[in-house]
Every structure is written in C-alpha cells, then in structure tokens.
C-alpha cells in the first residue's frame, strides 16, 4: 500500500491499515499530543482504531510543541 505521509510517499506491506496501526508503525513511542488528518479531514483520536486508510491517501500527522 502506498501512502503519502507528511508529503513523503511511503510503502507498507499491508492491504489495510487503521490510523492507529499506521501510527504504531510510524511513531510507536510518541502518540500523545498529535493530530491526524486524512485527505484534509481530521480523524478524532476516538476513531483511530476504526478509521482505515486507503491506497494513495494523503495523511498529515501533526505533533504539538511547547513554546510561543
């Protein structure tokens, strides 16, 4: 499966991936303070396990930072 994550194309050996499964592969140790959008639509954290991404989806993972 080919996905575009934060403007980089990546390939995964899976036919289907939930947002949570994708995050477990991409950032397994930092999943607090992040937001995920798929094709410009924010996916609520409560839906990460049930929202599945599709081939060629455009995914944006945003991490909160401190400062001002």
Assign 3-class secondary structure to the chain: CEEEECCEEEECCCCCEEHHHHHHHHCCCCCCCEEEEECCEEECHHHCCCCEECCCCEEEEEECCCCC
53 lies in which domain range?
Answer: 2-63
- The answer to whether position 11 is within a domain reads yes
Phi, psi of 32 (to 5 degrees): -95, 145
- The answer to whether position 68 is within a domain reads no
What's the pTM value of the predicted model, to 2 decimals?
A: 0.88
- The answer to whether position 14 is within a domain reads yes
pLDDT for residue 66 is more than 80: no
- The answer to whether position 39 is within a domain reads yes
CATH code of 47's domain: 3.10.20.30
- The answer to whether position 44 is within a domain reads yes
Number of domains in the chain: 1
Express each pLDDT in 4-59 by its tens digit.
999 999 999 988 999 999 999 999 988 889 999 999 999 999 999 999 999 989 99
């Amino acid at each position: 499966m080919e996905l575009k994550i934060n403007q980089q194309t990546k390939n995964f050996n899976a036919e289907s991936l939930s947002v949570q499964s994708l995050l477990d592969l991409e950032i397994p140790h930092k999943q607090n303070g992040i937001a995920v959008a798929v094709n410009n639509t924010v996916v609520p954290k409560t839906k990460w396990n049930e929202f599945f991404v599709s081939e060629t989806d455009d995914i944006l993972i945003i991490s909160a930072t401190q400062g001002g």
